[in-house]
Amino acid sequence: MAYIARITTGLGVSFATISYLKAVSVWFEPRKFAFAASFLATAAMIGALCAQAPLAYLITICGDWKMAMLLFSVASLLIAVVYYIVVRDFNPKQPEASSPNNQLKTLDVLKEVIKNKNNWLLTFYVGLSFTAVDAFAGFWGNAYFREAYHISREEAASIISMIFIGMAIGSPIIGKLSEILDSRKGVMIFSHIIGTIALSFVLLTKTSSTISAILLFIFGLCLGIYMLSFAIGNRINPIIITATVAAFINTGEPILGAIFDPLIGYFLDWSWTGKYINKAGEVVSQYTSSADIKYFELESYHFAFTTLVASMIASLVILVMIKDKKD
């Protein structure tokens, strides 16, 4: 049932990004696309932020994670109703973007998207640059900070939340900056380098919880550039296939994220020293009961997290290869 629930959830939320970006392409002129689209990242990161420390505290208050998730679901449903009432599909000022009479056949649209090499590069760029959010912030980060700084689950979640706060703030700022400078790639390359350096210090060294929070905020601020990938996709493809292009680019994140989660686990197991944490929370060298879980030392985390740094470097190389219309 858990697998079915996850698949159903994925199917449901997959429409959110595509619908928003299509609406932006219909209602905003191309020059404004990057800035308008950036607010999707802000909204998404607010949601992700709520899934960190606020969710941890809500579970504590409710005493049950199921009740906490039910409250989140009800809130999401109310927002969906408001969206349905307010948003309109057709823009009379851009009929070519919103009129169903001008739509290509499905196979023709897919061929148009697939044959553009830059769409593939954008897909891999988004996927590789977002692995740190999926794998670290979404899965391994909490355990890492608890081990590194001996803090509570809620405190670790608060540190990780800085990524989402940074992205929520950084995405519209970077979107507006790229609009003013009329440059996508230049802004993206500079921000990507700064973000990679900040993330590397967090993943590969031990500093302090405060410095880690600051560095993760900088990383999130810089990673706000990922929405510009959709702006480039909108810029280099016909406007009537915007939604399909956005959907294609968006597949990079869940596919590569699904690969890097277990990959980090593999490297942690490979560098595991054979120690366990027993039911009492003590580190022991021998397995004593089914309640024992593997204990990973800080060095094991640093070793495993090199994969995330490598993915950021690889995505930078891909970013340089992407051709914008202004190139």
pLDDT of residue 322: 92
Q: Which of 315, 42, 20, 312 is nearest to 173 (CA)?
A: 42
Q: Which of 77, 168, 78, 184 is nearest to 122 (CA)?
A: 184
- The residue whose two tokens read 């956005």 is 246
Fill in the amino acid letter for 185: K
pLDDT of residue 112: 83
Residues 6+ apart with CB under 8 A from 311: 128, 129, 131, 132, 256, 260
Radius of gyration of the chain (CA): 21
Q: Which of 2-11, 123-132, 233-242 has the highest mean pLDDT?
A: 123-132
- Which segment of 8-12, 151-155, 176-180, 300-304 scores lowest on mean pLDDT? 8-12
pLDDT exceeds cutoff 50 at 327: no
Q: What would the pLDDT profile of 73-92 be if each residue is shown by its tens digit?
A: 888 889 889 988 887 777 66
For residues 281 and 279, give the distance between their C-alpha atoms in angstroms, rounded to a whole number: 5
Q: What would the pLDDT profile of 192-203 be if each residue is shown by its tens digit?
A: 999 999 999 999
For residues 163 and 148, give the distance between their C-alpha atoms in angstroms, rounded to a whole number: 18
pTM score, whole prediction: 0.80
pLDDT exceeds cutoff 80 at 304: yes
pLDDT of residue 92: 62
Distance, first Cα to last Cα, the chain: 49
pLDDT band at 159 (very low <50, low <70, confident <90, very high): very high
- The residue whose two tokens read 């420390």 is 53
Q: What would the pLDDT profile of 10-29 be if each residue is shown by its tens digit?
A: 666 667 777 777 777 777 77
Average pLDDT, the chain: 83
pLDDT exceeds cutoff 80 at 277: no
pLDDT exceeds cutoff 70 at 283: no
pLDDT band at 103 (very low <50, low <70, confident <90, very high): low
Residues 6+ apart with CB under 8 A from 67: none
More confident position, 236 or 306: 306
pLDDT of residue 10: 67
Q: Count CA within 13 A, CB hemisphere, residue 300.
A: 20
Residues 6+ apart with CB under 8 A from 255: 127
**CATH code of the domain made up of 2-50+107-321:** 1.20.1250.20
